[in-house]
Amino acid sequence: MALDLSFKQLIDAAEDSAATIGQPICIAIDRIDEDPDQPRRSFDEQKLEELVESVRQHGVLQPIVLRQATEDGRYVIVMGARRYRAAKRAGLCDIPAFIHAVWSADRYAQMIENIQRDDLNAPEIAAFIAGRLEQGDNQADISRKLGKPRDWVSRYASVQSMPEFLRSKLAGSSIRAVYELYQAWREQPNAVETLCAAQESFTDAHARQLARKIRSEVRGSHADGEGSPGDRSPVGTQAALRPIGTDRVAAIAEERPSSSGDRAARMSTSLTIRVRHQGRTGRLLVDRLARQGSRHAVLLVDGAEEAEEVPASTITIEEILFA
């Protein structure tokens, strides 16, 4: 999906808007303020120092973008907070900038720039999405404006509902890994909290495997407590909701993602699942995990050379075959 605004388009727009007042001009740094509502909240200290050294030697090569503040003679940064900070540390008195006389703060434009520069961490992205939801945008709006898939937005939107111990894992784990644990936490909160207390970070594959193990424990508890459909009782229901014991949690935590060799061995018995998707037939690739998460499947359409990822809810199973 194409972005509404690419970074190049934003810079081009800045140049066009500045055309009435000529080329980029030098603005005194002490007349510039950072936007307190910009999406970016943290700056990598080492990378910032590297930029400071570059600015000392070569100056600021790419102008920043400013808008006029409500106070006469002052400006607010639209894009370029990191270059601005580096210029201040390098001791520069002024900095080249494009000026937008009537540009109100565009939160999505700022967000797109930071995403394309890969400058934001997960909590910052989550805070931005939470803010847009509070302002009345829905997840579809955010997805369209940022040019990101809906499930990408959903994962970050869920951060605000996560317990603190899970949010803290975003420092060393991807949003996808933490989201997998969050989904399991909703079913077995104590088990997931115990796992997180024992491990600092999780890979995507390990988090997915742990979440599946925890869910399978829950299903096993349900199967043990149900009995026949006609004799379910409150006692049986309580047994089904029984939390996983700490000894079992420890055993789950010690399990690691299986190697490709182990997976190949398990798949030595050939399994073919024939499916239909949007009028097309094909087969599921059961030995692959979708990169878009557990709600997607990898499908090889009949006659196609490359597999594709599709939402699992849009697939109809037609036939299951064992060789």
CA distance 11 to 17: 10
CA distance 221 to 52: 58
Please report, as a single letter, which amino acid is at residue 180.
Answer: E
Q: What is each CA distance from 26 to 19, 65, 95, 166, in whole angstroms?
A: 15, 11, 5, 45
Residue-wise pLDDT tens digits, 294-323: 778 888 888 888 889 888 888 888 877 765
Q: Is residue 138 pLDDT above 70, yes or no?
A: yes
- What is the side-by-side order of every strand in the sheet holding 280-284? 308-311, 296-301, 280-284, 271-277, 316-322
CB atoms under 10 Å from CB of 286, counted, come to 13
The helix or strand, by DSSP H or E, that contains position 274, with its residue range, turns out to be strand 271-277
pLDDT at residue 93 in the model: 93
What is the DSSP secondary-structure string of 107-123?
Answer: HHHHHHHHHHHT---HH
Q: With bands split at pLDDT 50, 70 and 90, how would you rate the model's confidence at 51? A: confident
pLDDT at residue 81 in the model: 85
Most confident option among 218-222, 259-263, 279-283: 279-283
Virtual torsion, Cα 96, 98, 102, 105, nearest 10 deg: -80
pLDDT at residue 90 in the model: 92
Q: With bands split at pLDDT 50, 70 and 90, how would you rate the model's confidence at 230? A: very low
Give phi and psi for 50, each to the nearest 5: -65, -40
Judging by DSSP bridges, how do beta strands 296-301 and 308-311 pair with one another? antiparallel
Q: Is 189 helix (H, G, I), strand (E, B) or coil?
A: helix
Mean local confidence (pLDDT), 44-66: 85
Q: With bands split at pLDDT 50, 70 and 90, how would you rate the model's confidence at 89? A: very high
Residue-wise pLDDT tens digits, 94-110: 999 888 755 445 566 66
- Residue ranges of the alpha helices (H) in the chain? 7-17, 45-58, 81-89, 107-117, 122-134, 139-146, 150-157, 164-167, 175-185, 189-198, 204-226, 234-240, 246-254, 260-266
pLDDT at residue 126 in the model: 85
What is the DSSP secondary-structure string of 73-112?
Answer: T-EEEEE-HHHHHHHHHTT-SEEEEEEESS----HHHHHH
Domains and CATH numbers, the chain: 7-117 (3.90.1530.10), 162-254 (no CATH), 264-322 (2.30.30.150)
Please report, as a single letter, which amino acid is at residue 18.
Answer: A
pLDDT at residue 240 in the model: 41
pLDDT at residue 113 in the model: 59
Mean local confidence (pLDDT), 256-282: 65
| Higher per-residue confidence, 275 vs 294 | 275
CA distance 98 to 19: 9
Residue-wise pLDDT tens digits, 8-29: 444 444 444 443 344 788 999 9
pLDDT at residue 11 in the model: 45
Average pLDDT, the chain: 74
